[in-house]
Amino acid sequence: MTAATNTKRNLVTAALVAPAAAWLMIFLVLPFIAMLVFAFGERAPEGGYQAAFTFAQFANLPTRAAAFWNTLILAPIGALACLLIAYPVAYYLAVKANPRYRLILVSLVVVPFWTSLLVRTYAWMYILGSRGIPNLLSMIGIEDVRMLNTPGAVLLGIVYGYLPLMIMPVYVSLEKLDRRLLEASADLGAKPVSTFFGVTLPLSLPGVMTGVALVTILLLGEYLIPQLLGGGKVFFIGNALVDLFLQSRNWPFGSAIAVTLVAVVVVVLMVAMRIAFRVAGTRQVDLV
């Protein structure tokens, strides 16, 4: 290989990478650096930021322990609830559904995204409010049921809003599944249940892990659903951030919380990826 082709190849690579790199630099790395600088500063007397070097903001983090705790509990629970509902749907779409209608059925999963999550969550406010389901329940004698502004309502909103994001990766991994493996498993005498747990489920685990990581990470930054369905009482770390920037105008403390949240997300992502790779890797070795 000549030096000239080498240079040309490098130039092409650089040209291909440049737009994405510039995008990430301007909209991810630089804002993150600004946030990091703010996190060590102080709140100006009228709010905002003034330069300083202090760890006070990080020392103050325990005052938001409840919000961190709510988020770290409800995000994985929400992701698991999504998974429990999404898996059968994805399985049906990928394995059982008539291939002729598969495309239509898969697009039906995506259709809700055509309407803003805000509007769809507002609809839940009315369904769960006094004149919705509780009203129907009172007709059959079950009185005074409170649904809106409870952790359960937030969980329901989360599952509803994020379900498609879980169905898609699981569906993709199940669709790639080699049917001959299922036939082989049956030929060797495995019952359908053991085929599912021995073959189908392990092979779809990368998709499951992708879905769980995707939904969990998005939920860690969720703001809208707890605000609307939790009535400002079920408080996520995203809501704490909004308050700090828009109400108390404490930019440094808000930045410190945001930096901490990013650190948490990175850890969650790394653990999830490690598990996913390990599972996928071992299975490949087994099959060869």
260 lies in the site for another protein, by CB under 8 A: no
64 lies in the site for another protein, by CB under 8 A: yes
CA 257, CA 64: separation in Å to the nearest integer? 9
- Residue 210 beta carbon to another protein: minimum distance, rounded to whole angstroms: 31
Cβ proximity of 210 and 275 under 8 Å: no
What residues from 135 to 154 belong to the interface with another protein (CB under 8 A)?
146, 148-149
43: region left, alpha or beta (phi > 0 left; psi from -120 to 50 alpha): beta
19 lies in the site for another protein, by CB under 8 A: no
- Residue 169 beta carbon to another protein: minimum distance, rounded to whole angstroms: 32
62 lies in the site for another protein, by CB under 8 A: no
- Residue 225 beta carbon to another protein: minimum distance, rounded to whole angstroms: 14
201-220 and 65-91 helices, crossing angle to 10°: 140
198 lies in the site for another protein, by CB under 8 A: no
- Residue 101 beta carbon to another protein: minimum distance, rounded to whole angstroms: 40
- Residue 76 beta carbon to another protein: minimum distance, rounded to whole angstroms: 20
Per-residue contact string for residues 29-48; x = within reach of another protein by CB under 8 A: --------------x-xxxx
Torsional sign, CA 165, 168, 171, 173: negative
Cβ proximity of 131 and 53 under 8 Å: no
Number of H helices, E strands in the chain: 14, 0
Burial class (CB in 10 A: 0-12, 13-18, 19+), 63: exposed
74 lies in the site for another protein, by CB under 8 A: no
119 lies in the site for another protein, by CB under 8 A: no
- Residue 48 beta carbon to another protein: minimum distance, rounded to whole angstroms: 5
Cβ proximity of 208 and 170 under 8 Å: yes
CA 190, CA 263: separation in Å to the nearest integer? 45
137-146 LR contacts (CB < 8 Å, sep 24+): none
Cβ proximity of 174 and 204 under 8 Å: yes
Q: Which of 158, 213, 244, 276 binds another protein (CB under 8 A)?
A: 244
Q: Which of 25, 66, 145, 263 binds another protein (CB under 8 A)?
A: 66
Q: Of 131 and 191, which has the nearer Cβ to another protein?
A: 131
185 lies in the site for another protein, by CB under 8 A: no
Q: Which of 250, 252, 256, 261 binds another protein (CB under 8 A)?
A: 250
Q: Which of 7, 13, 50, 63 binds another protein (CB under 8 A)?
A: 63
Angle (CA) 30-272-13 rounded to 5° is: 50
Cβ proximity of 166 and 207 under 8 Å: no
224 lies in the site for another protein, by CB under 8 A: no
Residues that bind another protein (CB under 8 A): 43, 45-48, 63-64, 66-67, 125-126, 129-131, 146, 148-149, 231-233, 235, 239-240, 243-250
